[in-house]
Amino acid sequence: MLMRSCHIFNRGVRDMAFVTTKDGVNIYFKDWGPKEAQPIVFHHGWPLSADDWDNQMLFFLAQGFRVIAIDRRGHGRSDQVSEGHDMDHYAADASAVVESLD
């Protein structure tokens, strides 16, 4: 299992949450919209953050989708770490976020 624990704050329309990965990194993500809606996951590139997807998230939220945006490790509100900046870790981090969703 990729996720060690999940800490969820501010449950509501604009969820803000963290998931702690297997290697102990706290990954921040936004989770907006109805839990039962079709999800869309936004994953930014360098040097952006989950906040850069807000306009797109609001558009798709208005269309009835559940929208999720992830801050990669070392970006935005996720832990600022010097290791694990490769596609394998980014994919594992995204998987940990998806596994934590209800």
| pLDDT tens, position by position, 31-60 | 999 999 999 999 988 889 999 999 999 999
Topology of domain 3-100 in CATH is Rossmann fold (3.40.50)
What phi and psi values does residue 2 have, to the nearest 5 degrees? -80, -25
State the Cα–Cα distance between residues 61 and 16, nearest whole angstrom.
Answer: 15
pLDDT one-digit tens code per residue, 65-78: 999 999 999 888 99
pLDDT band at 11 (very low <50, low <70, confident <90, very high): very low
Characterize the bridge pairing of strands 66-70 and 39-43: parallel
Residue 14 contacts by C-beta under 8 Å, 6 or more apart in sequence? 30, 32
Residues 6+ apart with CB under 8 A from 25: 73, 78, 79, 81, 84, 93
Q: What is the pTM of this model?
A: 0.80
